Amino acid sequence: MTMTSTRYQPTGNLPTPYAETPNFEPLLLRALKGETLERPPVWMMRQAGRYMPQYQAVRKRHTFLEICHTPEVAVEVTLQPLQQFGFDASIIFSDILIPLQAMGLELAFTDEKGPQFANPVRHVDDLKRLHGFDPMVDCDFLIKSLQMMRHELKDTGIALIGFAGAPWTLASYALEGCSWKTGRFSKQWLFEQPEALHQLLATITAMVIDYCDAQIQAGAQVIQLFDTWAGNVPTAYYEAFVQAYQAQVIDALKAKHPTVAVIIFVKHSRGLLPTMAKLNADCFSLDELTRLDEARNLFPAGTVLQGNLDSTALFLTDKAKLQALTEATIAQGGQSHYVFNLGHGVLPLTPVENVALVVDTIKNWHW
Ligand code: 1CP
């Protein structure tokens, strides 16, 4: 397949650095270190994507997977929300399913069905099909995208975030083959074949560690782990099948890169917080079901919280209400150990002017 990608040119028109940032140390990194700040850093999960006309224009020229696999284009769409809204952090454009593709699962993406694996893991024997890979070689497109982004963000005060799916969520995609829906296959393995599931989780965990390590070497300054489907696991199984593997990833990354912060996002984490607090993560990204100020008491002192404006609030037509909800979120987050984000990702069809309003509200905030 031939691809006609636009050549990447340094844009030079990124927002000016945060004025009070000494030596341009990104505000996000300062917040993650626990510094007291005038205002919190702001970024949004899924800040690049379908809600932006500029992204849709790129999608007319490229499939979703082409964007992920072509560094010049991945960088172009990673930069779009920074240029338009002035976020304080940039999350590299990729997808949590990319490393599963590198392990041998055949990934296709259609507009109707979203991501789908043609050969999901359904039998214990299928585990033999999953192979290791060298992220530097087999995901060289991601490595190059990160290197180009770091170069682009130099001296802007914008931090670069790399990411991976956490083991449970990746294992469930490998088992379901597509969107989670009922989680039938993942739950069957959980209840009937726990040993095989542990084997799958261990294989994926080793991969996630190498994959994040490679992203850090390529320039990622922070790693966020997405455990989108962790909140759907029955409590009796949670620690052994979800959290134990999150902990392995976090502990391995912290041992190798003590100064690189790890953020963990667990969707539907209300009720799991006292358990999650045992993790060695630097920052916990909470969804909108939890109040940040109440959650803070459940975590050890020095823990950074991230979140958690309801993504659907960005559909409000009442701008004053949206501004008030944004300010209430900051007030609950606090003056230190806090990073502004949504409770989950920016949704398709979100009005762009509301994303701008939220970012401006935060940038105008003074404690
Ligand atoms: O053009 C398109 O239609 C593609 C839509 C799209 C986009 C923009 C997908 C398909 N992935 C992405 C990018 C993406 N995915 C990013 C980019 C960086 C950014 O945040 O700006 C990130 C961090 C992800 C992570 C991701 N992918 C998660 C975890 C976060 C979350 O939202 O829960 C998950 C679960 C996925 C799987 C995925 N990829 C895409 C879709 C539609 C889905 C969901 C599939 C399902 O229904 O389960």
Q: What is the pLDDT of residue 7?
A: 53
pLDDT over 80 at 250, yes or no: yes
Task: Report the chain's mean pLDDT, rounded to a whole number.
Answer: 94
Is the Cβ atom of 179 under 6 angstroms away from ligand 1? Answer: yes
Q: What is the pLDDT of residue 1?
A: 37
**Mean pLDDT on 327-348:** 98
Place of tokens 């989680």: 183
Q: What is the pLDDT of residue 16?
A: 59
Question: Quick one: DSSP state of residue 118?
Answer: S
Question: Ligand 1 pocket test: which of 61, 63, 75, 96 has the largest number of ligand atoms within 8 Å of its C-beta?
Answer: 96
pLDDT over 80 at 5, yes or no: no
* In the chain, where the domains are located: 27-363
Confidence of residue 237 (pLDDT cuts 50, 70, 90): very high
Confidence of residue 3 (pLDDT cuts 50, 70, 90): very low
Q: What is the pLDDT of residue 181?
A: 75
Supply the residue whose CA is at minimum distance from atom 8 of ligand 1. Answer: 49
Q: What is the pLDDT of residue 4?
A: 44
Q: 167, 175 in Cβ contact below 8 A?
A: no
Confidence of residue 24 (pLDDT cuts 50, 70, 90): confident
Tens of pLDDT, residue by residue over 257-312, are 999 999 999 999 999 999 999 999 999 999 999 999 999 999 999 999 999 999 99
Is the Cβ atom of 215 under 6 angstroms away from ligand 1? Answer: no
**Mean pLDDT on 193-215:** 98
pLDDT over 60 at 20, yes or no: no
Supply the residue whose CA is at minimum distance from atom 35 of ligand 1. Answer: 228
Question: Ligand 1 centroid to 95 CA: how many Å?
Answer: 6
Helix 184-192 with 167-176: angle, nearest 10 deg: 110
Confidence of residue 15 (pLDDT cuts 50, 70, 90): low
Q: What is the pLDDT of residue 23?
A: 57
Q: 160, 220 in Cβ contact below 8 A?
A: yes
pTM above 0.85, yes or no: yes
Question: Ligand 1 pocket test: which of 60, 63, 65, 95 has the largest number of ligand atoms within 8 Å of its C-beta?
Answer: 95
Residues 6+ positions from 268 with CB-CB distance below 8 Å = 230, 231, 232, 287, 289
What CATH number does the domain located at 27-363 have? 3.20.20.210
Q: 328, 308 in Cβ contact below 8 A?
A: no
Nearest partner of 139 among 192, 189, 65, judged by Cα:
65
Q: Please count the other Cβ atoms lying within 10 Å of the Cβ belonging to residue 181.
A: 7
Nearest partner of 287 among 336, 355, 360, 227, judged by Cα:
227
